[in-house]
Structure 1
Amino acid sequence: MARYTGPSCRLCRRENMELFLKGDRCYTDKCAIKRRNYPPGQHGQGRTKTSAYGVQLREKQKVRRIYGLLEKQFRGYFQEADRMKGVTGENLLSLLERRLDNVVYRLGFASSRSESRQIVRHGHFTLNGRKVDIPSIQVRVGDIIALREKSRTIVTVNDALEAVVRRGVPQWLELDRDGYKGSVKGTPTREDITTPIQEQLVVELYSK
């Protein structure tokens, strides 16, 4: 599966905000955007004038990078959201939030979405009692996501669970830390997504 393998901190600097792509490092003074708060490259500190299209493009790139998707994958989610009933932008965010790798991250089993994608791909989780290794699976209300018995000694997972208090668990999910499992209580609403995202700009970009 194709994925971005370049420096993560470069993406945060390009979008001029913390995307929390490197887990706990993003909360420390080592965070690149705290030390160099300007876009990467030799012209990063120069003055730039952004057009309306540029603003829409940057917003789309920001959302895509937050969830770790390539352009073809992201456009596919938009097309699916556009076919659904309701507001397209909110449908898009709901689809992205209900990805299995994002749910594992939201529950606190990983410190970043890239880390959660990796442990899902390695088959450390079960979905409703069955082993899964596909990060893009869409979870549904009532689903149970559990860490497999033999995977409960993984240091990074236990460290992430210790730090989940700082990030919190969304209201549409429920975490059972002692049982190393979580459940989907409902469908994520716009209010549950606290990341500063202007999804309407993404809709306007793809609707041209």
Structure 2
Amino acid sequence: MARFMGPRFKLARHLGVNVFGHPKALKRGVKQHKLSEYGEQLLEKQKLKAYYGVLEKQFKTIVFKALKSREKSEDFLIQSLERRLDNMVYRLGFGSTLREARQIVNHGHILVNGQKVDIPSYKVDLNDVISLREKSRKIEAYASNFMNIVPTANYVEKDYENFSGRLIRLPKAEEVPVEVKFSKVLEYYSKN
């Protein structure tokens, strides 16, 4: 399973943004950079990759699809990233961090429309029901996360009784809670 295994807080300080959602990530201060245009584009790309825990090869594929799409490229890019199953599990509150959500998916605790799915990059469609397996509801950490974490995204809907949720509409780039300039990311890849 390919994912970033390096020092998380060091990366967060370098990027200048708390991409991992950990309260202590920026405790030691943020590094200030004086960047060229290319440097800004590269930094924004690195931020977006870190937010979603995606490595270069997969990220590049998503961005090139966004550049070729008939829709607005920024919206297509963010929708592709937001609709990943690990991200949806995080947005619904099954996991307190994206890493935890990814682990929950990998360990087979999540059902999509009643079927077990253990692929973090699985693309969730509109109105797909994402739920916690019956056995997994007994795991205190997952149940308490789901009950206590209020979703910040208004494009997901939670069903507290059934430990489930769904994507009710596709998100727009400006309503996604990430601090990234998507145009810079697209500029970076459009040169290649």
Structure 1 counterpart of 2:58: 73
- TM-score of the two chains, using structure 1 as the length reference: 0.86
Unaligned runs of 5+ in 1: 40-46
Residues 18-57 of structure 1: pairs in structure 2 closer than 5 A: 18-19=18-19, 21=20, 23=21, 26-27=22-23, 31-34=24-27, 36-39=28-31, 48-57=33-42
* Native 8 Å contact 1:125 1:145 kept in 2: yes
CA RMSD of aligned residues (A): 1.5
How many pairs does the alignment contain? 191
Counterpart Cα distance in 1 of 2:166 and 2:4? 29
Q: Does 2:176 align with 1:193?
A: yes
Counterpart Cα distance in 1 of 2:139 and 2:9? 25
Amino acid at match of 2:7: P
Counterpart Cα distance in 1 of 2:13 and 2:144? 27
Greater mean deviation of Cα atoms: 84-93 or 135-144: 84-93
Structure 1 counterpart of 2:186: 203
Shift of 1:162: 4.0
Q: Does 2:120 align with 1:135?
A: yes
Instruction: Give the match's secondary structure for 1:182.
Output: strand
Instruction: Give the match's secondary structure for 2:141.
Output: helix
- TM-score of the two chains, using structure 2 as the length reference: 0.93
Counterpart Cα distance in 2 of 1:198 and 1:32? 21
Give every structure 1 segment of 4 or more consecutive aligned residues whose post-TM-superposition deviation is greater than 6 Å. Answer: none
Structure 2 counterpart of 1:182: 165
Instruction: Give the match's secondary structure for 1:196.
Output: coil
Counterpart Cα distance in 2 of 1:85 and 1:18? 32
Provide closer, same or farther for how the CA distance between residues 49 and 197 of structure 1 changes in structure 2, counting only shifts above 3 A.
closer
Amino acid at match of 2:178: T
Amino acid at match of 2:15: E
Structure 2 counterpart of 1:149: 134
1:9-55 superposed Cα distances (whole Å, 9 cap, x missing partner): 11111101111x2x5xx23xxx0412x1134xxxxxxx753111001
